[in-house]
Amino acid sequence: MEVKIVKKVLDANDTMAEENRKLFRDKNVYVLNIMSSPGSGKTETLVKSLARLEPELKTAVIVGDVCTTNDADRLNVTGTHAVQVNTDEFGGDCHLAAHVIRKAALDLDLESIDLLIVENIGNLVCPAEFDIGEDSRVVLLSVTEGEDKPLKYPVMFKLCSGAAVLNKVDLLPYLDFNIDEAEDNIKSINPDIPVFRISAKTEEGFDDWLSWIKDVVKSK
């Protein structure tokens, strides 16, 4: 019984995701869905990335958290248009579903946007199960989380096939984290995925990471 209900929810989500995909195609908007555990640096990476991309690309962000508008407030300083979604209004969901993205996207001026980034709710399980009509997915892992997380949460690292980002490399001198092992673990699940090593604090590694974003946006 429970299996049937979950399947129905996912089928309904897939239908809405396809409608979103059509809307984004019609408006020529590239959509990137970014996922990670809470605190790995999604917002900080976006704050720094969007400030550098904004002159070239018109961007917007839909950012999800259970509560607060903290992240939208941080992102709006960059010149992007960030819209906060709080899932406590509908039961504290651990992911952003396709219908939630549609409602938020229809409030944006899609005609004038090249790149829409979705910062998903922080966790390494549920968000991967929900297609939102995105063009690609990026998973972020920070060096404080342990090299084994790709092995523990393989579905996330499999379904985020756009790129993987290893963040907070500025902290490596203070940690026992083996970054080569972390990258090998990611590649054991997703052999062809590009892996970027960055620090959102110092912007180390940003040239390659931002080039990748510009290339995928141009490719649509």
Ligand X SMILES: Nc1nc2c(ncn2[C@@H]2O[C@H](COP(=O)(O)OP(=O)(O)O)[C@@H](O)[C@H]2O)c(=O)[nH]1
List residues near ligand X by CB under 6 A.
36, 38-44, 122, 167-168, 170-171, 199-201
| Residue 59 binding target from Mg ion, ligand X, none, CB below 5 to 8 Å by type | none
CB atoms within 10 A of CB 36: 27
Edge-to-edge order in the sheet of strand 136-142? 81-86, 59-65, 115-119, 30-35, 136-142, 163-167, 195-197
Dihedral (C-alpha) 61, 66, 141, 75: value to the nearest 10 degrees? 30
Instruction: Count the residues of the shown chain that bind Mg ion, applying the rule CB under 5 A.
Output: 3
| Residue 64 binding target from ligand X, Mg ion, none, CB below 5 to 8 Å by type | none
Task: Identify which of residues 21 and 201 has a Cβ nearer to ligand X in the complex.
Answer: 201
- Which residues partner with 33 through β-bridges? 118, 137
Query: Which contiguous run of DSSP H or E holds residue 44?
Result: helix 42-53
| Residue 44 binding target from ligand X, Mg ion, none, CB below 5 to 8 Å by type | ligand X
| Residue 200 binding target from Mg ion, ligand X, none, CB below 5 to 8 Å by type | ligand X
Task: Identify which of residues 42 and 81 has a Cβ nearer to ligand X in the complex.
Answer: 42
Residue nearest to ligand X (CB): 41
Kindly give the interhelix angle for 42-53 and 206-218, rounded to the nearest 10 degrees.
70
Residue 44 touches Mg ion, criterion: CB under 5 A: no
The C-alpha atoms of residue 69 and residue 78 are separated, in whole angstroms, by 15
Among 71, 93, 131, 135, binds Mg ion (CB under 5 A): 71
Among 13, 37, 43, 190, binds Mg ion (CB under 5 A): 43
Give the residue from 47, 73, 57 showing the smallest Cα distance to 167: 47
Task: Identify which of residues 17 and 163 has a Cβ nearer to ligand X in the complex.
Answer: 163
What is the contact surface with Mg ion in residues (CB under 5 A)? 42-43, 71
